[in-house]
Structure 1
Amino acid sequence: MRKVLVIGYVWPEPRSSAAGSRMLELLGVFRSQGWQVTFASAAALSSHRADLTDLEIEEVAVALNCDSFDAYVAGQQPDLVLFDRFFTEEQFGWRVERAWPAALRVLDTSDLHCLRDARHALHKANQQSRSSEAQRHQVGPALATRDELYAAMAGADMAQREVASIYRCDLTLMISEFEMQLLQEQFGVPAALLHDCALMLIPPTLSEVPFSDRQHFLSIGNFRHAPNWDAVLWLKHALWPLIRARLPQAQLHVYGAYPPPKATALHNPKQGFHVLGWVDDAHRVMAQARVCLAPLRFGAGIKGKLADAMACGTPSVTTTIGSEGMHGAHPWPGAVVDDAQAFADAAVTLHEDSAAWSQAHANAAPLLQQRFDRPRLASELVNRLERLLASREQHRQLNFVGAMLRHHQHKSTQYMSQWIAAKNARDN
């Protein structure tokens, strides 16, 4: 029986974020193979966390900068260690290698953080170039070519850290083909270190709630995720007024985990703008909505809200960044637009025109089948991991850059962590 240790940046919250759904899906794939899975995290427990005991997964709380983790890993002797995002690999990767070097080290990026960070910086620069607050609210998505993105990313601390983490691991799971191309063509990361794995926790059957039984616009997303909060601001100040000018009785329901006071302050029923916050069942409210709005001006990865919209048969209006890596040559089940007026026009058409809505609805099923087929993606992942487990040493010999980066990381991150551990022991 394979033994898998997953080290989580946070405890998985599948009802709060796409990252939580993805982690739960990965855990389910490992358990479906009969593998013994342990989930460890140094994060605080949360009220929205999944109960992993339902999957017969052991939960272990671990400490940062503490040698007790090394002893734990050596005792577990896992075949595979999965790091949830590169921050976790930075903290624990060198400890895993030192305590149990035989373990296959796998990184799940969730999305490419350095890409999201670069686009956020570009978006801020675009806004700051405007002379008034009103003009800043009208700024569209931070669009850039891969070469332009590389120019913005190459010198950034975030990109250097994340790409170094990718090299240090035996394999990195990627969620977006755009990001894989960026890493290979612009950053020169070998294809042997990457695996296309678009697994998401998507309902297996498409919702068939008809156009006539649905109502209202919907927007959803964890408020702690910067692209989601920015999308709400763009909706509030620029997009929703354009939609309401055409549809004076229209209602927008904005859902999402962890809404801060600045978000709930935007709630205005007279304007049809309802900030409703947490919802227990996102798929239920998505299947009742007529149109999903996801005006993302920056970000990365695959957008869980849009995958959910497809699964619920709900047409969506999003941006080029929102749809990135999700549909390939398939028609989008809704509209992809980057201009504010065009966004509003597309939203109104899908809300009012049953024929346009039905065509968008019909586009969802084949896209889900081709791009997010769970059995195929799970089988490909398991097969890739088994091949690497069988040829681990040969694979590592071909990754000299990774070995070099691990060597130098041990001279910095490791010694800093050991200094903190020693200081904590002395203070206690």
Structure 2
Amino acid sequence: VIDAETPRPHHDSASLRLVNLMRMLVDDGAHVVFLPADLHHVEGDTERLRHLGIEAWHAPFATRPATWLREHGARFDVVMLSRHYVAAEFLPLVRRFAPQARVVFDTVDLHFLRERRGAELAGDAGLKRAAERTRDRELALIRQADATLVVSPVEREMLTELLPDARVEVVANLHELAATGLPFEQRHDLVFVGGFRHPPNVDAVRWFGSEVFPLIHARRPEIRFHCIGVAPPPEVQALQAQPGIVVHGHVAELGPYMDGARIALAPLRFGAGVKGKINLSMAHGQPVVATSCAIEGMHLSSGHDVLVADDAAGFAEAVLRLYGDAALWQRLSDHGRDNIARHFSLDAARDTVRRVFLR
């Protein structure tokens, strides 16, 4: 398995998915080797992989990827390359030094789709052209790979139309159900979780903080909005000037916010893939208010396991309604956990993982 860097499952959902995927392979008897393209050792996270039984490499033991693959390529039955920019660099090396191996391209999400939607939201022709260049690169890699992984049926259907001969499989986010935390009456406030190196998260928090939260604060001034995620930029930090908004940055332990905040938010206006922030909250029994974009491909329906709104007034109204309705809150909590068990658990993915990697 080759990804851009060592996965950090406490920092982002893509890392959690990758670690759980490798865990599943180890549990099924595979010998799993992980190489980060940046060759960095990450204290704690590299060791975590080894504790799971994964052979984790880094500098100075691996110095150049081509040299490492020349030495080790003959060992592998399957090589998985994560993200299009990693796959573009490594696929030729794998074909040269591990010609016997099947190549699996893990898109993580379709980058071109996220970029295109961001360009449309911004009305930026330059960004749209860049998204089309990414599209060309991703589709070329899908043609060259023996199998491609996407995280949602929506993305699989899109690729099936574009490349009907490609083998495309869905391996969604992978989560384990957590304890349900505090009951409705003991929970307070709103929480958003998402790393800010990801542009859709920056846009989402800016939109919610500037256009939605003031409507909530005007009616329920005791409600606070907790914003959690690595590397909040100045425009996100500046939202703290508004009463009721707290920007925490990275927190070492998310548990208190999953178990104690009453509602999780996913106010994304563009993006692709499936949203780990939604999975994480639902795995903890924490109901979610989201946009249509945020729940794409996640087997969710508004009023059953999530509340959905796409304009500022509607989003604020959904938050306030859920915040004050214990019966609705419990119903969404229960159905959200059912959604995780049915579509985003390790058991739900096991047959596909075995079919792609072990047969």
Structure 1 length as normaliser, TM-score? 0.77
What is the match of residue 30 of structure 2? 35
Where structure 2 has 5 or more consecutive residues not aligned to the other structure, the ranges are none
Summarize deviations over 1:326-365 as a string: whole Å, max 9, x none: 0156865231111110000000111112122122212213
What is the match of residue 85 of structure 2? 87
Q: Distance in 1 between matches of 2:267 and 2:110?
A: 19
Q: Secondary structure at the match of 1:219?
A: strand
Q: Count the aligned residue pairs.
A: 353
Summarize deviations over 1:204-228 as a string: whole Å, max 9, x none: 3451521011111111100111111
Counterpart selection for 2:55 from 58, 69, 74: 58
Q: Distance in 2 between matches of 1:67 and 1:368?
A: 39
Matched, 1:260 2:257: no
Q: Distance in 1 between matches of 2:296 and 2:190?
A: 22
CA contact (8 A) 1:64 1:91 kept: no
Q: Distance in 1 between matches of 2:138 and 2:147?
A: 13
Counterpart selection for 1:188 from 150, 163, 172: 163
Q: Secondary structure at the match of 2:358?
A: helix
What is the match of residue 102 of structure 2? 104
CA contact (8 A) 2:37 2:86 kept: no
Q: In the TM superposition, what is the alpha-carbon distance from 1:284 to its structure 2 partner?
A: 3.5
Larger Rg: 1
Q: Do the aligned partners of residues 259 and 112 (structure 1) sit closer, same or farther apart at CA in structure 2, a change above 3 Å counting? A: same
Matched, 1:173 2:172: no
CA contact (8 A) 1:154 1:160 kept: no
- Aligned pairs (5 A) from 1:163-312: 163-185=139-161, 187-190=162-165, 193-200=167-174, 202-268=175-241, 271-312=243-284
Q: Do the aligned partners of residues 67 and 219 (structure 1) sit closer, same or farther apart at CA in structure 2, a change above 3 Å counting? A: closer
- After TM superposition, the runs of 4+ consecutive aligned structure 1 residues lying more than 4 A away are 45-48, 62-66, 152-155, 328-332
What is the match of residue 134 of structure 1? none
Q: Equivalent pairs: percent with the same residue?
A: 33
What is the match of residue 159 of structure 1? 135
CA contact (8 A) 2:225 2:246 kept: yes
Moved more, 369-378 or 238-247: 369-378
Q: In the TM superposition, what is the alpha-carbon distance from 1:163 to its structure 2 partner?
A: 1.0
Q: Secondary structure at the match of 1:173?
A: strand
CA contact (8 A) 1:334 1:350 kept: no
CA contact (8 A) 1:115 1:153 kept: no
Q: Distance in 1 between matches of 2:63 and 2:197?
A: 23
Moved more, 33-42 or 105-114: 33-42
CA contact (8 A) 2:341 2:348 kept: no
Moved more, 58-67 or 83-92: 58-67
CA contact (8 A) 2:112 2:134 kept: yes
Q: Distance in 2 between matches of 1:155 and 1:108?
A: 19
Matched, 1:69 2:106: no
Q: Distance in 1 between matches of 2:231 and 2:209?
A: 18
Q: Distance in 2 between matches of 1:72 and 1:359?
A: 55
Two-structure CA RMSD over aligned residues (Å): 2.3
Q: Secondary structure at the match of 1:362?
A: helix
Summarize deviations over 1:102-133 as a string: whole Å, max 9, x none: 1110111111111001001001118x9xxxxx
Structure 2 length as normaliser, TM-score? 0.91
Q: Distance in 2 between matches of 1:13 and 1:302?
A: 18
